[in-house]
Amino acid sequence: MGEVESGKGLNQELGLARAANTRWGSHYKSFNNFISMFGSITDVLDTIVVDSESVEEKAKATGYLKKEQDIANAILLVKVVKKRLQDLRNEGWDSLIENVSAFCVKYDILIPNFDEFYVNFGRSRCKVAEYTISHHYRVEVFFKIIDWQLQELNDRFNEVRTDLLIGVACLNPVDSFSSFDIKNILRMTELYPDDFGETVMVTLRNQLETYIVDVRDVDKRFSC
């Protein structure tokens, strides 16, 4: 688009590279580049929504352009989803079978005898398993799908990433930094031991305590 100067090394400086896990500086560089290129990024996403032939790409681009959930609220929603999935795993099987059975009766679909042994219809020959049809669909299908979904959420929102997101959410300046929480911010800095040593952490706590008194009670410019 002519908005980014090209040349050897220049594109790398403004690229949206994946941030390293243990260096805060790499995160800062990624965020800074993202801010610098924000206008171009949204233009590209708009173009994808209009011109892309892929329905999946259109849907992803549309999702990125929508207003994001507050980080703290998003983390809460992730916990809610995990809880509902776990409840479904523990207590949802019987109601699912009732609904499936009712559907089969309504549309005259044969319902298997769940107490019979499961038969694996492979390519070469049929093989009778040592477990029932009920066990197969409950353990090998129902549980596995839910476990896969839970594992996916745990991988994307593990403890470290969750602590990082909560720490970032604490820096929200809305309502005179009402979300500010020193404990969560310090926990976020603990994730970057190469950048925040023990002495720096002591100094940082004192600076944070001074800062929040300033923005909440002293400097009236933050209340505007």
**pLDDT tens column, 151-161:** 999 988 888 88
pLDDT of residue 214: 85
Positions of the chain with pLDDT lower than 70, given as ranges: 1-27, 66-69, 122-126, 222-224
pLDDT of residue 16: 58
- Residues 182 and 209 sit within 8 Å (Cβ to Cβ): yes
Percent of the chain at pLDDT > 70 equals 81
pLDDT of residue 206: 93
Which amino acid does the sequence have at 200?
V
The pTM for the full model equals: 0.57
Would you state the structure tokens that stand for residue 128, as one six-digit string? 């009778």
Which of these, 92, 90, 114, 118, lies nearest to 104 by C-alpha position? 114
